[in-house]
């Protein structure tokens, strides 16, 4: 068994961090990139002599992890510590159930000697804030940084949590980050085609709890004969013969949607967590015995079938975590598999902020790909962004709008996000997930990492800047003072309402735009052209940095 290049890179970065004394680490890898392969190889790669424990929270995950560890470590003893199963003293690898070890009032964890373990690996690390997990972590001394303690490596595809809590209380450094977009671009995940399907439902009366829709209310809104018939019709039109998983609102929705498929002559089965025929149904679907499985409360985590080539999101999601997990069930590559088709069934949701395939892939949130592949859509968007740096593609709804947008003078309109207008008087612009401001020929940025900490980075007066802040407001305060006190530019020149921004472009700007082949629309102001140039050079700097990392 040979690790992929990025898997080896993840292990190398983990070892380097551990050598620096950082024992609490987080690695982010999208579903399908082989997190278990990394966990199975860490003992050999890091040169550990003690045991390695992998913590899971589901029986299915425990069995999968133990099987993978045996494959990656032929001859090694792999034990399971869960319910009636106990790991033995000869086990080099132990897969342990958190519900078993961390159960309140249980003494079972006291039978495990922490000194025997070189590493504790937490699968699905984003769920590790519950008390049962913390009891296990505390037993191994992981609740505080400890350079002399065991490696504590959290591995997850989705570092975000439904409740908004960050993971900084558990992990001190993100040692590796490869999301779904990077996985697709590098060829280790299949390309995604996405289509929005109008379900004609109304979500305005559906409540939320814990960052997600209330299940019963959601099912009432979306589990209707009319809507289910639409789902089946669109699947038959676009996904015929594709092995498909339909994610539903609840068990009854799964049963009713499967029945609708059957009524249209399409073989389908419903499956849920407590279904007594769950495993035979899943095995038959994996073997290709029938094309469509409709699931509730199941298959979102740990399900591994690389030949799934269609995901039907029959129930809308507010939780990015759950949405990413469901789409991730179909992103694995397989021989003969060209792409993953995602049918995203959408309804009227005026008061709700819903997840979309486009936002998952880092594209404009409301962009309907209309069956276009992600990679092709990204190329078109990047081409427009390069040609018209001030183009506002955030509100783009379909790719057909790009041509009109490119011809419209509004491309050079400079707009400031509400949080910028509220928190600072300087001319910070938002590009991607970062806020930027030019300071002479240099620039400063503000962005948050996956642990929820805000960072001010850049160069001022030839000096590198890297300062942390607790929140965005604090980051703007620190950065504004830093920029103004540098004396590179007068404060009046940095303000959003500075007079110079409203006059015509300077000769130097016009000359530079011609050199860079950036067309200046008639009527564009000096401030608008300045913003266009800033975005151009920011993009060039990002590409240069990316190339430098590849070379390194």
What's the pTM? Answer: 0.71
For residue 157, give the DSSP letter: S
Res. 161: pLDDT tops 70: no
The string of DSSP letters for 52-105 reads: EEEEESSHHHHHHHHHHHHHHSTT--EEEEBTTB---TT-SEEEEEHHHHS-TT
Q: How many residues are listed for the chain in this entry? A: 552
Res. 408: pLDDT tops 50: no
Q: DSSP E strands: which ranges in 314-394?
A: 339-348
- pLDDT, the chain, mean: 86
Strand partners, 154: 26, 122
Query: Measured between alpha carbons, how far apart are the two ends of the chain, in Å?
Result: 26
What pLDDT score was predicted for residue 156? 85
Cβ contacts of 272-277, under 8 Å, gap ≥ 24 = 272/296, 272/297, 272/298, 273/297, 273/298
Region 510-532: what's the mean pLDDT? 78
Ramachandran sector of residue 362 (left: φ over 0; alpha: ψ -120 to 50; beta: rest): left
Same-fold call for 5-178 versus 189-362: yes
**Cα-Cα-Cα-Cα dihedral of 56, 61, 66, 68, to 10°?**
-120
Of 52-61, 269-278, 396-405, minimum mean pLDDT range: 396-405
CATH topology of domain 189-362: Rossmann fold (3.40.50)
For the record, the structure tokens of 53 come out as: 């424990």
Domain 5-178, architecture per CATH: 3-Layer(aba) Sandwich (3.40)
Of 314-318, 330-334, 429-433, 519-523, minimum mean pLDDT range: 519-523
Whole-number percent of the chain with pLDDT over 70:
89
What pLDDT score was predicted for residue 399? 76
CA distance 526 to 510: 10
When pLDDT is cut at 50, 70 and 90, the band that residue 159 belongs to is low
Q: ∠303-307-312 over CA atoms, to 5°?
A: 70
What pLDDT score was predicted for residue 551? 44
**Number of C-alpha atoms within 13 angstroms, CB side, residue 124?**
19
What pLDDT score was predicted for residue 548? 45
- Tell me if 478 sits within 8 A of 485, measured CB to CB: no
Strand partners, 444: 437, 458
- Which are the contacts of 176, defined by CB distance < 8 A and separation ≥ 6? 9, 10, 13, 14, 27, 28, 29
Strand partners, 465: 458
Region 54-81: what's the mean pLDDT? 90
CA distance 469 to 195: 40
What pLDDT score was predicted for residue 7? 97
In tens, the pLDDT along 97-136 reads 999 998 998 889 999 999 999 999 998 888 777 889 999 9
Res. 266: pLDDT tops 80: yes
The domain segmentation of the chain, as residue ranges, is 5-178, 189-362, 411-551
Res. 163: pLDDT tops 60: no
């Amino acid at each position: 068994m040979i690790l992929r290049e990025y898997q080896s890179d993840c292990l190398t970065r983990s070892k380097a961090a551990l050598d620096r004394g950082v024992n609490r680490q987080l690695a982010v890898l999208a579903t399908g990139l082989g997190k278990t392969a990394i966990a199975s190889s860490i003992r050999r790669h890091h040169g550990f002599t003690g045991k390695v424990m992998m913590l899971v929270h589901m029986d299915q995950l425990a069995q999968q992890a133990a099987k993978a560890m045996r494959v990656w470590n032929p001859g090694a003893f792999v034990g399971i510590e869960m319910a009636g199963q106990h790991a033995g003293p000869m086990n080099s690898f132990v897969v342990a159930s958190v519900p078993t070890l961390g159960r309140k009032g249980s003494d079972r964890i006291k039978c495990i000697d922490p000194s025997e373990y070189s590493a504790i690996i937490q699968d699905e690390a984003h769920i590790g804030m519950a008390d049962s997990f913390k009891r296990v972590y505390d037993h191994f001394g992981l609740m505080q940084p400890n350079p002399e303690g065991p490696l504590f490596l959290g591995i997850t595809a989705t570092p975000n949590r439904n409740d908004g809590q960050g993971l900084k209380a558990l992990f001190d450094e993100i040692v590796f980050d490869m999301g779904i977009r990077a996985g697709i671009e590098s060829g280790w995940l299949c390309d995604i085609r996405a289509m929005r399907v109008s379900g004609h439902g109304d979500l305005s009366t559906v409540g939320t709890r814990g960052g997600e829709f209330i299940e019963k209310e959601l099912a009432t809104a979306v589990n209707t004969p009319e809507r289910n018939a639409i789902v089946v019709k669109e699947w038959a039109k676009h996904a015929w013969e594709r092995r498909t998983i339909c994610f539903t609102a609840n068990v009854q929705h799964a049963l009713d949607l499967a029945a609708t498929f059957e009524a249209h002559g399409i073989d389908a089965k419903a499956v849920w967590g407590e279904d007594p025929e769950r495993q035979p149904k899943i095995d038959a679907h994996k073997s290709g015995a029938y094309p469509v499985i409709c699931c509730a409360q199941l298959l979102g985590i740990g399900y591994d079938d690389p030949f799934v080539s269609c995901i039907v999101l029959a129930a809308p999601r507010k939780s990015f975590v759950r949405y990413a997990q469901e789409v991730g069930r179909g992103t694995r590559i397989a021989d003969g598999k060209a792409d993953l088709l995602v049918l995203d069934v959408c309804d009227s949701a005026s008061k709700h902020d819903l997840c979309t395939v486009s936002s998952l892939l880092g594209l404009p949130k409301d962009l309907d790909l209309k069956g276009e592949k992600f990679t092709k859509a990204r190329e078109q968007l990047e081409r427009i962004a390069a040609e018209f740096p001030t183009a506002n593609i955030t509100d783009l709804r379909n790719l057909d709008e790009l041509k009109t947008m490119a011809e419209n003078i509004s491309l050079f309109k400079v707009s400031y996000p509400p949080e910028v207008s509220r928190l600072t008087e300087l001319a910070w612009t938002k590009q991607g997930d970062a806020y930027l401001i030019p300071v002479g020929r240099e620039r400063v940025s503000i962005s948050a990492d996956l642990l929820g900490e805000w960072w001010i980075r850049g160069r001022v007066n030839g000096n590198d800047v890297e300062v942390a802040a607790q929140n965005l407001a604090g980051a703007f305060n620190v950065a504004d003072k830093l920029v103004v006190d540098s004396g590179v530019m007068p404060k009046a020149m940095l303000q959003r309402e500075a007079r110079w921004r409203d006059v015509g472009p300077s000769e130097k700007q016009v000359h530079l735009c011609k050199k860079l082949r950036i067309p200046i629309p008639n009527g564009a102001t000096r401030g608008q052209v300045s913003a266009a140039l800033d975005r151009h050079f920011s993009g060039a700097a990002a590409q240069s940095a990316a190339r430098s990392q590849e070379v390194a």
